[in-house]
Amino acid sequence: MEAYYPYIKALHLIFVVTWFAGLFYMPRLFIYHIESRDKGKSEAAVLGTQFRLMERRLWYIITWPSAILCTLFAFTLLAIMPGWLQQGWMHVKLGFVVVLWGYHLLMHRMFLKFQREAFSYTSGFMRIWNEGATLILFAMVFLAVVRHSLNWIYGLLGLIGLAVLLMLGIRLYKKLRKD
């Protein structure tokens, strides 16, 4: 099975990328969907129909399959390399995987509300929500790449610093958008 390791790892990484692509783009569609309600009644109806279609296709054709395949290939990698489960960095990374799945499932609940046009989110909230996937991605990539040499305190401080920078960026965008 070890001979297949590079192929399985490549497939895992491909589905990580496509899963995150879905998680990054879905909130963006939600933002456009929310803002389309400010249009005239007939334009909002047409846009709402189009956004629901785009959201369904992204969610069910790209995001869900990618999440499942990414996870299956990850379990396969762990079966090939069981020693990773003894390492601290992997425990932390798997913790972030649980957080990522929680984020995904919450996004699914949002998706279902948007499909029914029964959402109560603001575009500002969705812009902040969108950064959750960014923080998870940064944490997981650094854990996977740096592994043993990572000082956990500096890693945590870096993640908090990134969150602060992202929030400042959102505030700046909001200010520039009003001007």
- pTM for this prediction: 0.85
CB of 155 closer than 8 Å to CB of 93: no
Q: How many domains does the chain have?
A: 1
Task: For residue 69, give both structure tokens.
Answer: 């395949």
In a 13 Å sphere around the CA of 51, the CA atoms on its Cβ side amount to 26
Over residues 51-60, the pLDDT tens digits come to 999 999 999 9
The answer to whether residue 179 scores a pLDDT higher than 80 is: no
Domain that holds residue 82: 2-178
Task: For residue 83, give both structure tokens.
Answer: 């020693």
Is 12 annotated as ligand-binding?
yes
Is 93 annotated as ligand-binding?
yes
Spatial CA neighbour of 166 closest among 21, 26, 24, 15: 24
Q: Which residue has the tokens 């009003």?
A: 178
Over residues 105-159, the pLDDT tens digits come to 999 999 999 999 998 999 989 988 998 898 889 888 888 887 765 566 667 777 7
CA distance linking residue 176 with residue 51, whole number of Å: 26
pLDDT of residue 144: 83
**What contacts 88, CB < 8 A, 6 or more positions away?**
none
**What contacts 77, CB < 8 A, 6 or more positions away?**
5, 8, 9, 12, 84
Q: Which residue has the tokens 């009644």?
A: 41
